[in-house]
Amino acid sequence: MSCYVRKTYLQPSPPKWDMWIHRDLSDNHCEECLVLHECWFEKKKTPKWPHHPFCHCILVDIQYNTVLSLSSCKCPYEKIDPYLFDPDNFYKHGKSAMLESWGYTIQDSTYLKEEIEKQGLEKYRNGDYTLGQLNAYGQRISIRVELPRKNGDGMVSFITGWMVKPNGLIQLNTPFGGK
């Protein structure tokens, strides 16, 4: 007697994401809820909801395909040059010496900007971020970035800080947030 074995192929389910929606249902509006409107978060890493008593905000499912295809990032060049490299000794934070010890100079600013953007966006899409401070300016998240040492073997990694903006945009806030 032959047996028929039915094979079931398991496919990993895509990550679940939320879009925060602020609903205009009262005369008073919380600044933080307003700034979260239409921001996208991985379900397990969404800001506390409800945000406060009588919060009218809702969370709406957003397709992961949408996150993958429409999310974007922006790294203001000036956060790298002049802030991080500080060529005119205007900011005096000692970060340029640290970067130079890794083999990077101000000439690498465009490379660093693009690499931080690439890794930041990839990790955001993978839900690989940590929620930070939320205030009227926005919800911050931290993302760890890795760079190869230009002057030797191995990698260095450090935290970057981002602001979550509407419709899948993340904007670099802090280029070096510590190791």
Partner 1 sequence: MKYLDCVEVIVEKEQYAKNGVHKGMQGVIWLEESIDGTWDVFFDLWGEHGPIGDIAIKKEDLKLIPRMDARINEKIKAEFGD
* CA trace torsion 133, 137, 142, 148 (10° rounding): -150
Which backbone phi and psi does 60 adopt, to 5 degrees? -115, 135
Read off the amino acid at residue 66.
T
136 makes contact with partner 1 (CB under 8 A)? yes
What are 56's two structure tokens?
């009218």
155 makes contact with partner 1 (CB under 8 A)? no
23 makes contact with partner 1 (CB under 8 A)? no
CA pair distance 1, 153, nearest whole angstrom: 62
- Measuring CA to CA, which residue among 82, 166, 169 is closest to residue 120? 169
CA pair distance 16, 64, nearest whole angstrom: 7
Positive/negative CA dihedral, 73, 31, 80, 176: negative
78 makes contact with partner 1 (CB under 8 A)? yes
Point out which span in 22-30, 58-66, 120-128, 133-141 binds partner 1 (CB under 8 A): 133-141
Nearer to partner 1, 126 or 133 (CB): 133
Among 49, 64, 77, 83, binds partner 1 (CB under 8 A): 83
Nearer to partner 1, 119 or 173 (CB): 173
Point out which span in 8-16, 39-47, 58-66, 81-89 binds partner 1 (CB under 8 A): 81-89
Query: Which residues are near partner 1 by CB under 8 A?
Result: 31, 78, 82-83, 89-95, 97-98, 133, 135-137, 140, 159, 161, 173-174, 176-179
